[in-house]
Structure 1
Amino acid sequence: MLAMLLLLLPTVVSAHIVNEQNLYDDLQYSKATPQIVQLSGLGVIAYDHGSTLFSPQEKLTREELAHWAGAFWKLKESGAAREQVTAAALEKGLVPSLDGNATYADVNQAYFAGKLAVPEQDAARELTKEEFAVFVFEHRNDAVEGKSLYDRGGFVAGPTGKVEKVAVREEKDAAGKTSKVYSLTISGTVHDLSAHPRVLQAAVDPAQWEGKTVEEAWLMNVAGKPQLQLILFAKSADASGQSARPEKAPTADHAHAGHADHAAAASGDETGASMVPLVVAVVLLALVGGWLFARRRK
């Protein structure tokens, strides 16, 4: 009976919202934090779920560039192994090889089909991940065959203005899985959040967004419906309350622990929702145990 009841309990999944505080543990040490967050939201920088560090000052390798560019151009299905994506990028000619560090010319080829006018003295120069983010972000609006990076990534400009209302509802997919869907009313229009949106200068809890001003937003098409994937909020007066930039970067072990804390904060709704079945299960177990004990005494 208990097993049957547990099977009937709903599992509610909420949006995993990411900002500059929890995307990576070491972004606070980079001057290109806003660019990195935005490029992550656009899919230009593929998110590696097994990594807690971005390592902005380290050189970008050609293997990493192949992985990022291959994912951006969707050369393989979502969830494909990293090796498959990099191999596809190499075959497509996005990178000259998977060996060594990437150059400005390599990045130009991978994302802009080599059409950017990169100075000759810079073309062969290797670049760090931070420099990559600055370079690509600077050229995001440059037209390549008539399309910007946003266009080629499948994004359209979203609403701007004041967030008048934040609402949440539950929806079930074809498999019966329940998920929470947040929607924002911005300047009179209602838009749903995607499952993994990126936000800047705002908390990861959408309930705190009411009254804030959206300076820029980008929508992505999900199952034929546009959803908010990237939101840039206006800097609030109390935004300076964020922790100051530390003098030393964290060690890998420290960063891993910090990442767990940030991830927990980012998915607070997911954790709270997932605790509901556990609490109900404990209560049911106690009731069944008490009933069996009473029956045995009789």
Structure 2
Amino acid sequence: MRKYLLLILMSTLFMAPVAYAHTMDKSTLYADVSETAPTIQEIMVLHSIGLLGYNGKDMNLNPTENLSRKHFAGWLGGFFGLEGATVDELAQAAKNEDYVSSLEGDITYKEINTALFHHKLELEKPDATLTKEEYISFLTDQLDVDMGGHSLIQMGGFSEGPTGTIEDVVTGDETGVVINGTTYMLSGHPRIFADSTDAKSWVGQTVEKSILTTGGSHQHSHDQSGDHHEGQSTDTPTLQYIQISSPAQATSKTQVQSENATPIDQQQSTKESNETSSNTVWIAALLVLVAVIMGFLFVKHKK
């Protein structure tokens, strides 16, 4: 009995990201990825749409390891909504659908181009394998590539969501945010990039990026026959990913941009600042001169 319960517990680690029915934030996504990692936002975006998952053993990403065909196929199975609950089952389902030709060895750029991009990408080294870090960077760069009217995000049954200031929040059994007067509810298992997962603290902060479930089917057919895989289960769009920036973070970004400015940019900024200061001085001087003249005329008139 104890062994059976352990197997059930471990099976939750095998499932693709879309199967997690709870909130995950930047500190709980992977055991070996810090919430301050330079690519944490990219990782969370790919994880939220199902193109990045777990290895079937633990909660580690192991970003410097080569990406195996088996793991890639398993993530594809979750992304396209194929049948299966474990990495092995989803990988086999993806192979059965001819998304990959084998589950042995490491995946190549060419195979990713075939499975996700209909051979549309021009690759420098198509037969090269890649680490998970390189995979994350590669997919992030291609998220908006147009593949006959849909992007990679849309292919998975998602769309770009709202951005702007959070005016209010909805709390209780479900959580939502109000942006530009419209309420957007969070999905059942959202990925949240924020300083806090306490929704009440988000009021006044800015949503820099978000991804919505579309409630429709995946916009992809591997054999181009129109036989689409099953998409999201809800008809009402919900927030699958939300990236929130606090005022402090916005100020920090401005400071970083200033520090990273080129000498030419800095000179231009200094020039504009000096011109503004000079204009202010001249305006003040003119106002003083007008005041003196008016005072002189007033005194002369009194006499």
TM-score when normalising by structure 2: 0.65
Q: Deviations 1:79-99 (Å, cap 9, x if unpaired)?
A: 633322111211222112111
2:199 equivalent among 203, 206, 227: 206
Corresponding position: 1:62 with 2:65: no
- Following superposition of structure 1 onto structure 2, how do residues 4-23 of structure 1 map, counting pairs within 5 Å? 16-23=22-29
Corresponding position: 1:32 with 2:25: no
Corresponding position: 1:190 with 2:186: no
* Alignment match, 1:228: 239
1:16 CA drift (Å): 2.6
For residues 141 and 61 of structure 1, the distance between their equivalents in structure 2, rounded to whole angstroms, comes to 24
Secondary structure in 2 aligned to 1:27? coil
8 Å contact from structure 2 (residues 48, 190) kept in 1: yes
Counterpart residue identity of residue 48, structure 2: G
8 Å contact from structure 1 (residues 40, 47) kept in 2: no
Corresponding position: 1:102 with 2:104: no
Q: Which has the higher strand share?
A: 1
Equivalent pairs, count = 213
1:48 CA drift (Å): 6.0
Secondary structure in 2 aligned to 1:53? coil
* Alignment match, 1:215: 208
Give every structure 1 segment of 4 or more consecutive aligned residues whose post-TM-superposition deviation is greater than 3 Å. Answer: 46-50, 238-241
Q: Provide the aligned C-alpha RMSD in A.
A: 2.3
For residues 126 and 80 of structure 1, the distance between their equivalents in structure 2, rounded to whole angstroms, comes to 27
1:141 equivalent among 140, 144, 151: 144
* Alignment match, 1:118: 123
Q: Deviations 1:48-76 (Å, cap 9, x if unpaired)?
A: 67522111111100100110112111121
Of residues 199-208 and 150-159 in structure 1, the stretch that sits farther from structure 2 once superposed is 199-208
8 Å contact from structure 2 (residues 171, 199) kept in 1: no
Structure 1: unaligned runs, 5 residues or longer: 1-14, 170-179, 242-298
- Closer, same or farther in 2 for the Cα pair 1:30/1:162, shift >3 Å? closer
8 Å contact from structure 1 (residues 162, 213) kept in 2: yes
Q: Deviations 1:215-268 (Å, cap 9, x if unpaired)?
A: 121111352111111112235425999xxxxxxxxxxxxxxxxxxxxxxxxxxx
8 Å contact from structure 2 (residues 55, 61) kept in 1: no
Secondary structure in 1 aligned to 2:200? helix
8 Å contact from structure 2 (residues 56, 86) kept in 1: no
* Alignment match, 1:157: 160
Q: Deviations 1:168-190 (Å, cap 9, x if unpaired)?
A: 23xxxxxxxxxx20111112111
* Alignment match, 1:75: 82
* Alignment match, 1:274: none
For residues 38 and 139 of structure 2, the distance between their equivalents in structure 1, rounded to whole angstroms, comes to 15
For residues 30 and 96 of structure 1, the distance between their equivalents in structure 2, rounded to whole angstroms, comes to 34
8 Å contact from structure 1 (residues 30, 56) kept in 2: no
- Closer, same or farther in 2 for the Cα pair 1:165/1:30, shift >3 Å? closer
Counterpart residue identity of residue 224, structure 1: D
- Closer, same or farther in 2 for the Cα pair 1:125/1:115, shift >3 Å? same
Secondary structure in 2 aligned to 1:237? helix
Counterpart residue identity of residue 207, structure 2: V
For residues 92 and 191 of structure 1, the distance between their equivalents in structure 2, rounded to whole angstroms, comes to 35
8 Å contact from structure 1 (residues 201, 239) kept in 2: no
For residues 111 and 49 of structure 1, the distance between their equivalents in structure 2, rounded to whole angstroms, comes to 22
Q: Percent identity?
A: 34
For residues 85 and 194 of structure 2, the distance between their equivalents in structure 1, rounded to whole angstroms, comes to 32
For residues 143 and 71 of structure 2, the distance between their equivalents in structure 1, rounded to whole angstroms, comes to 20
* Alignment match, 1:131: 134
Secondary structure in 2 aligned to 1:165? strand
Structure 2: unaligned runs, 5 residues or longer: 1-20, 216-232, 253-303
8 Å contact from structure 1 (residues 166, 182) kept in 2: yes
